[in-house]
Amino acid sequence: MADRYLGLTATAPGRFLTRRLGLPQPAALRRWSPQHPSLDGGLLHLTAGTSALDLAPVLARTGLTAAASDPAAVVLDATGVRDVDTLAEVHAALHPVVGSVAASGRIVVLGAPLDAGDHHRAAVQQALEGFTRSLGKEIGRGRTVNLVRLTDAAAAESTLRFLLSPKSAYVSGQVIGVGAGPVGEADAVDRDRPLAGRTALVTGAARGIGEAVAETLARDGARVVVLDVPQAEPDARRVADRLGGRALALDITAADAGERIAAELPDGLDVLIHNAGVTRDRRLVNMPADRWSSVLDVNLASVLRTTDALLAEGALRPGGRIVATASIAGLAGNAGQTNYGASKAGVAGLVRALAPRALAEHGVTVNAVAPGFIETRMTAAVPLLIREAGRRMNSLAQGGLPVDVAETTAWLAHPASGAVNGQVVRVCGQSLLGA
């Protein structure tokens, strides 16, 4: 379902009218394309407090040139902020430049991990979250603001490259933690085809977000396995043929789905994307047990079962990546979606608890994407007024596209993203629902 309002505000009379009426002004987002692979402009590197990060070589490898004015990207290193006085340097650094950041530009604030032993430092480092999210809500013109907590700049290279590119067009207001390592194979990987030689399985990939994820992972060089229910096999086959991959007709709720995937892929798997999901909305008072259990089974129980089975079978090779699909409905809650919200919050819980163990025992990272309002068949079925509210109630005042979730997934699946583990990253244009 096309977003007609976005089309209207792209015309001069439409813009005039909607401005006069005080209506939202969504900007046309600049997304990645082969012709437009990076931001339009340079990078400004600022520092607040005294930083110990060795950032310059990492920023040099983003391919963005240093900009003294009118930047397309600003990186503010605030890891050295330790008290309210040095926090003022965040204001001093950004206040003069924020107005000149290009449309669809990026501001990335770097913070330190929260230190429970030093409550002054913890207070001002936590303050960076409120700062980032507030700036994200006011900055406009398709510009995004995110916070990365890190201790090692090299470990965050794949994350900074993603956030400082058109690929992160719909990711704003996020706080992403990057560990100290292992980094992965940052230098060894082919920049254009980082997943070359790897196999990626995407559940629910016959259409919608899953199809876009399969397409993006194939662009990045992966051999893709397009899994969907047997009824969707023709579509799954069409997607697989287009991407040079293979289709796998399987209901992911089958008790032995994990074992069957492992049997189909005797050489193992590198990337596992749990994307299949369903909604069966009703308020709890009207919700029969089968509407509850079918949603919990597809969205959570099957994710738990297949993950356990594939890890137990050793089917995920070391360096592997698991990306599950949560939802902002699971983080913020949504009327009529107690079943769906429970299932998606469960996914976030699974990711946070399993991530350290999966990395230690199998060398596999586990993260989640949490989409907001994404333009798919699922959201086209939402009643008009709720759909319109869903589209506008975010800092970018528009719905995201499946490719926005796919690009975020591709960053998490990247061989150099080994230090990103246990994160739940919202792809929601900074939805007003939840944090």
Question: Looking at the annotation, which residues are catalytic?
Answer: 340
Question: CB under 6 A: which stretch of 1-9, 101-109, 207-215, 352-360 binds ligand NAD?
Answer: 207-215
Shortest spacing between CB 182 and ligand NAD, in angstroms: 29
Asked whether position 214 contacts ligand NAD by CB under 6 A, the answer is: no
Spell out, one character per residue from 309 to 338, where the chain touches ligand NAD: x when CB under 6 A holds, - when not: ----------------x-x-----------
From candidates 53, 201, 252, 366, binder to ligand NAD by CB under 6 A: 252
Whole-number Å distance between alpha carbons of 57 and 80? 19
> Distance between alpha carbon 20 and the CA centroid of its chain, in Å?
34
CA-based nearest residue to 107, from 59, 146, 158: 146
Rounded Cα distance between 270 and 268, Å, is 7
By CB under 6 A, the residues from 4 to 33 that bind ligand NAD are none
Q: What share of the chain is helix, strand, coil (3-state, %, to 5)?
A: 40, 20, 40
Q: Of 341 and 415, which CB lies nearer to ligand NAD in the complex structure?
A: 341
For residue 278, state whether it binds ligand NAD (rule: CB under 6 A).
yes
Taking the complex as a whole, the smallest distance from the CB of residue 31 to ligand NAD amounts, in Å, to 17
CB 319 within 8 A of CB 184: yes
Site string for ligand NAD, 215-234 (x = CB under 6 A): -------------xx--x--
CB of 209 to ligand NAD, least distance (A): 4
C-beta closer to ligand NAD: residue 204 or 429: 204
Decide: 331 and 434 in contact? Cβ < 8 Å: yes
Helix orientation angle between 338-362 and 289-296, rounded to the nearest 10 degrees: 30
Residue 114 binds to ligand NAD (criterion: CB under 6 A):
no
| DSSP output for 272-317 | EEE-------B-GGG--HHHHHHHHIIIIIHHHHHHHHHHHTT-EE
- Residues 6 or more apart in contact with residue 51 via CB below 8 angstroms: 77, 79, 80
Using CB under 6 A as the binding rule, whether residue 377 contacts ligand NAD is answered as yes
Q: Does 203 bind ligand NAD (CB under 6 A)?
A: yes
Binding site for ligand NAD (CB under 6 A): 203-204, 206-210, 228-229, 232, 251-253, 275-278, 298, 325, 327, 371, 373-374, 376-379
